[in-house]
Amino acid sequence: GCDSGFGHALAKHLDQLDFTVFAGVLHQEGPGAEDLRMAGSHRLTVLQLDVTNSEQIARTFAKIKAELGNKGSSPLPGFAAYGASKAALAMFSNVLRQELAIWGVKVVTVQPGGFKTGIFGTSDHWSNRHQQLLQKLPPDVRTDYGENYIASFKSKYAKWHNNLREDLQPVISAISTALMARNPKPEYTPGTATFSLPVVHHFLPSCMSDFFTFQLLRTGPEDVPDGVKETG
């Protein structure tokens, strides 16, 4: 999405390079979308696009088709769904690259790591999510984990977020190269985290990589669920 982070910066960058840009946003009236409309040229179109909404996907596809005509993997605790979706997307892209090669279509994946975007949300976002989570959890699950354990994710993610790189230019450069190179690489991995974590998980024994990950992510005694404390 182009509300913030990589997508937002990339939409602006490609617009400045005279690309025709369709910027999908989750909130069409939000500050990110408004900034794109104000900063972009006539080549940049902001589109309401929630990728979980089939009607919005169909409308967006129809609009882009009408305007274009014929022109044109490391595991981390708490990131199971995110990691699985990225792994699936990488495999999907690899298969597409092979299937579309005969048509002269190049498929490239860009997998950045260690950059500061809006993925962790704001403090207000986490406060709201914390309350929603507590309300929806079954009583026995909430007792087993404990409210302190659940609340610890807010400070943990804030700590991670503060250590991330703010300059998104390496990612924008990688995507620009992938778009404009005559023979782009199949994959671009800007960012130091795309090297260090995969090395740990692919070349060390599982017991060592699990220990490393646990030590990296643990921040204090509140990281242990109440149920574990009682049985321990």
On whether the CB atoms of residues 109 and 171 are closer than 8 A, the answer is no
E-strand ranges in 49-163 read: 109-110
Task: Determine phi and psi for 38, rounding to 5 degrees.
Answer: -75, -40
On whether the CB atoms of residues 182 and 174 are closer than 8 A, the answer is no
Catalytic option among 82, 149, 157, 188: 82
Q: Alpha-carbon distance 12 to 47, whole Å?
A: 14
Helix (H, G, I), strand (E, B), or coil: what is residue 68?
helix
Longest CA span, the chain: 65
On whether the CB atoms of residues 109 and 186 are closer than 8 A, the answer is yes
Q: Alpha-carbon distance 170 to 111, whole Å?
A: 11
Q: Write down the residue that tokens 């404990």 correspond to.
A: 146
Q: Let me know if 82 is a catalytic residue.
A: yes
Q: Alpha-carbon distance 225 to 213, whole Å?
A: 18
* Token pair belonging to 134: 């507590």
Residue positions annotated with a catalytic role = 82
